[in-house]
Structure 1
Amino acid sequence: MTYSGAVKIDGPADVHELTDLMISKVAVGPMNNNAYLLRCRATGQQLLIDAANDAATLLTLIGDDGIASVVTTHRHGDHWQALAEVVAATGAVTYAGRYDAEGIPVPTEVLVEDGDTIRVGRIELTARHLVGHTPGSIALVYDDPHGHPHLFTGDCLFPGGVGNTHQDPAAFASLIDDVETKLFDRLPDETWVYPGHGDDTTLGAERPQLPAWRERGW
C-alpha cells in the first residue's frame, strides 16, 4: 500500500517502507499527536519519536522487539505523557534537546545538541536545534542514501506554517529563521516532512509560502 501519512486516533498505523528504514506513524489522543516508530531493516533495532500519549497503543506498535531509544522532540506535555510508561516497559534510552530536558519529567539520558547524530541500528539521524516554539526543540533528519531526505519536525514545522510562538515576535523570528536556515536552506524540495500533529508535507510544498509566513508573523 502507498504511504499517505494520514492517520487517525484509534486507527491503524501508516507505514512508510524505505530501502533501509521502516517508518510507522500513529496518532494518539486527546490532542491528535503523531508518534513515529523507526526500524532499521538491517538490524531490527527500533527508535520511537515522541511517546506522546496512550502507552498501550505505542507499546503494541513497538511489539516484542522493544525499542533501543526514544526521542522527545520538545518539552510540551502532550509529547511525553506516555514516556515514563514506555521507558519502564522497554528500558529505552531517552534523548531530548539540551535546553528542553529540564521541562521533561522523565530524566533525559542523552542531551542533544545541534548537529548531533542519533543512531538506530545502521541508520543515522541528524538533530537540528530549532528555537522559538520552545528553547530546545529538535528536528531529526534522515538523509536516505537511496532517495530523498526525511524530516521529523515535532511542532516546529507543519503544512501551512511554523509552530505556535504565542504571538511573541522574537520567538517567531527565531523559529522561522532557524527553520529557514537549518531546514529549507540545507534540504531539497523532495524532503518528506513528518510533523508532530496532523498530515505530512514536503519542503517543496511549503517553500513558496515562506515570505507569506514572515509577513503575517505566525
Structure 2
Amino acid sequence: MPDVIFTGPEGRLEGRYHHSKVAQAPIALILHPHPQQGGTMNNKVVYTLHHVFSKRGFSVMRFNFRGVGRSQGVFDNGQGELSDAAAALDWLQAVNPDAAHCWVAGFSFGAWIGMQLLMRRPEISGFVSVAPPANRQDFTFLAPCPSSGLIVHGNQDEIVPEAAVAKLAAKLSAQKTITVDHAVIDGATHFFTEHMDELGQTVDRYLGANPDRVRGG
C-alpha cells in the first residue's frame, strides 16, 4: 500500500493510498480518531474501513491529520483538520478524475470531521460514520444531511453513550430525501477491540446493498 505525501493547508500531509484497477472506480477517504488521544491513520478501525472499501473496488486513502506522524502542523480543534480532509479529498479526486462516486468514512473524531466535509462537498454520495461522538461534538450542522449513509456503534461504548448516537441516527433517519442506516454491534466497545471482524462485515454488507453508489464504470 503506497505511502503518499501531499500538500495540506499547513504543509505536507502523510497518507496511505490504494489505487483500484476498476474502470472509473469510486473513491473513499478514511478519517482517523482524535489526534490528541492517540488517533492515527494506522488505528485498527481506520485500517479495517480502508480494507473493506478497497476490497469493494474503491480507490482509497487514509491519512494523518496535521501534527500526527509525518504530517506537518499542529492540532487545530477540528477546523484545521477539516481543511486537511478537504485537501486530502482534492488529492484523491485529482488522481481519480473519472471516479464514478465519492465516499467519506470516519471513526470517532474522524466521523465528526467526515460529516462536516459531507456538508461542504456535494460530490460526496455516501458516508460511513463509526462511533460518531454525538455526546461530545455538535452535529446540528447536519440540517439537512445531504447524503445517505451508515452509522455504526457498539452498545458497550464506554466513551460515546449508545443513546446519544441513537438520537442522532433517528434525527437523520427522519429526513425524507435520504436513507440513514443505523447498525448496533452487540457487545462492542468504542474501539471495537473484540468486534473488528463484525464491524468490517457490517460495513461490507452496507456497501454491497448499495451498488448504485459503489460500482465504477
TM over 0.5: no
Greater helix content = 2
Greater strand content = 1
Query: What TM-score comes out, normalization by structure 1 length?
Result: 0.36
Query: What TM-score comes out, normalization by structure 2 length?
Result: 0.36
Higher relative contact order, chain-length normalized (CA < 8 Å, sep 6+): 2
